[in-house]
A = this chain, B = another copy of it.
Amino acid sequence: MPDHRLQEAIDTLKGSGVRITPQRHAVLEYLLNSMTHPTADEIYKALESKFPNMSVATVYNNLRVFREIGLVRELTYGDSSSRFDCNTTDHYHIICESCGKIVDFHYPSLNEVESLAEQVTGFDVSHHRMEVYGTCSDCQKENAH
C-alpha cells in the first residue's frame, strides 16, 4: 500500500551507498506495511516462507542499517526483545501492561522539557523518549470477569 514510502526509503538507502538486496527489500517492505511494532524474530519468521535460507543475522544487520540511516526507530520496552518502528513521524506510544500491545498516539512534542533539561543539567540534548503505560480496553474487559 504505501508504495511511495517504500520507494522513498529505497532512494534514501541508495543515496547512502546501501545496496538493495532482495532480503533487505523484504525486511523494509514488511516493516513499512506492518502496523504493529515487530521484533526481529517476528520479521524473521514472517519472511521465512519467502526466504527459507535467510539468516536471522541478516534481519538484525538490516535493522541496524535502517536505524543508522534513520529509517526506523528501535524501541526497548520492558519485554525481552527490541521492537522496530518505521513510523518516523513524531508520535508517542502507550503500552498495555497486561497484553503488551503497543498503540500510537499523537501529542505535541515536548520541546519545553528538552530546553528546560538542557538549562538545568548543562547537557546538550539530542532527543527524548516518553511512553504511557496502562491497561488496554480489551484487557479491562477481560479483567472485569
Contacts and interface: CB of A to CB of B under 8 A. Distances in A.
Nearest to A131: B129
Contacts of A117: 92, 94, 105, 107, 132, 134
Contacts of A130: 110, 113, 128-131
B105 A132 contact: no
A79 to B, nearest CB: 8
Q: How many copies does the complex hold?
A: 2
A114 interface: yes
Interface in A72-110: 74, 76-78, 92, 94, 96-97, 103, 105, 107, 110
B107 A113 contact: yes
B124 A134 contact: yes
Interface of A: 74, 76-78, 92, 94, 96-97, 103, 105, 107, 110, 113-114, 116-118, 120-137, 140
13 contacts: A74-B78, A76-B76, A92-B113, A94-B121, A97-B126, A107-B113, A123-B134, A126-B133, A126-B134, A126-B135, A127-B134, A128-B131, A129-B131
